[in-house]
């Protein structure tokens, strides 16, 4: 059983879409996605600098569009889809396309709204996120509570992402929990916390008119790592997760329980592949960062690498 994982915000880098535009049909797809999301994906994915694409309004559509492009290219290269799909944070909007819940253009419309709403919510108070790597989990959680920070992402592999006010994140970095490293993330707000409550309302309004299909592949939710059977529930979870913690650790536990034989992370890949190498030790993993990685991913999907 091969799982495809769709990454979340912070995985984008300047120019990362450029090599994908060399594939037939990608420019046309990105033009459609740009219109739906109200973001110039080609310009931002090829020309904009790191600070520009850090903007939540731009970053989220870029990431989802990249995963959709990579997913389609992989299916064409391998001749089949994966056996299951999951997405980390905004990556769930790519994951539900891969399981047939909604169409790609609908997903891009929603991610455009999501990105703008979360950016607006973040603008009210200066906040951010930092990865806390290593250490005792209980000690980390106690320290976050002391600083009034929220554990926004339980990523597994010994990583928790703290979110909240910038002074508190600064204090965490200055006096880290014993045995941990604190790494500020390239995001512009305290996502997956109560700071995002206004964005939840905006996204809930946006999905009200969407008629989803039920997933036609195994779909895990990063809400709690469970399998989603209903398209309506998939949309509910996507709305709720804007202000709720991402439980990627529970997703990986569910992958292990399901007996997966490999994981493929779609573009812009890297972070989830790294977590899988620590949290799913011994499981073959391919990170599809560019079209050059499609052959290795197709081999894994078709069993050759396994």
- Among 29, 89, 107, 254, the active-site one is 89
Q: How far apart are CA 18 and CA 198, in angstroms?
A: 34
Query: Which residue's structure tokens are 């700071």?
Result: 195
Structure tokens at 83: 């056996």
Q: Is 124 a catalytic residue?
A: no
Give kind and range of the element (H or E) at residue 119: helix 104-122
Q: What region does 183 belong to: left with phi over 0, alpha with psi -120 to 50, or beta? A: beta
* Residue 96, burial from CB neighbour count under 10 angstroms (0-12, 13-18, 19+): buried
Q: Can you give the length of the chain in residues?
A: 306
Phi-psi region of 225 (alpha: psi -120 to 50; beta: other; left: phi over 0): left
Q: Does 192 participate in catalysis according to the annotation?
A: yes
Query: Of the listed 192, 233, 243, 244, which one is catalytic?
Result: 192
The answer to whether the CB of 222 falls within 8 A of the CB of 246 is yes
Q: For residue 106, what are its two tokens?
A: 């609908």
DSSP 8-state code for residue 199: H
| Cα distance between residue 106 and residue 99, in whole Å | 14
DSSP letter string, 268-305 = S-SHHHHHHHHHSTT--EEE--SGGGHHHHHHHHTTS-
For residue 290 the two structure tokens come to 């560019």
Residues marked as catalytic: 89, 192
């Amino acid at each position: 059983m091969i799982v495809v994982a769709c990454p979340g915000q912070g995985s984008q880098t300047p120019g990362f879409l450029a090599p994908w535009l060399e594939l037939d049909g990608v420019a046309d797809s990105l033009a459609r996605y740009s219109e739906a999301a109200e973001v110039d994906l080609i310009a931002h994915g090829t020309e904009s600098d790191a600070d520009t694409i850090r903007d939540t309004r731009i970053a989220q559509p870029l990431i989802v569009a990249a995963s959709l492009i990579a997913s389609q290219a992989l299916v064409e290269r391998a001749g089949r889809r994966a056996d299951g799909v999951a997405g980390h944070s905004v990556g769930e909007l790519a994951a539900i396309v891969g399981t047939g819940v909604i169409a790609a253009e609908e997903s891009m419309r929603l991610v455009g709204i999501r990105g703008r709403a979360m950016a607006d919510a973040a603008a009210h108070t200066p906040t951010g996120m930092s990865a806390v790597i290593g250490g005792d989990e209980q000690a980390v959680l106690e320290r976050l509570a002391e600083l009034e920070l929220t554990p926004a992402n339980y990523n597994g592999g010994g990583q928790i992402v703290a979110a909240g006010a910038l002074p508190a994140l600064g204090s965490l970095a200055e006096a880290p929990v014993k045995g941990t490293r604190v790494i500020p993330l390239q995001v512009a707000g305290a996502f997956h916390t109560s700071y995002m409550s206004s964005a939840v309302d905006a996204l809930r309004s946006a999905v009200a008119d969407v008629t989803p299909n039920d997933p036609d592949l195994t779909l895990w939710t990063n809400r709690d790592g469970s399998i989603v059977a209903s398209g309506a529930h998939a949309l509910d979870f996507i709305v709720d997760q804007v202000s709720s913690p991402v439980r990627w650790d529970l997703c990986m536990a569910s992958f292990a329980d399901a007996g997966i034989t490999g994981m493929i992370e779609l573009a812009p890949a890297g972070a989830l592949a790294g977590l899988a190498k620590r949290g799913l030790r011994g499981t073959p993993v391919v990170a599809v960062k560019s079209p050059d990685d499609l052959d290795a991913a197709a081999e894994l999907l078709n069993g050759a690498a396994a």
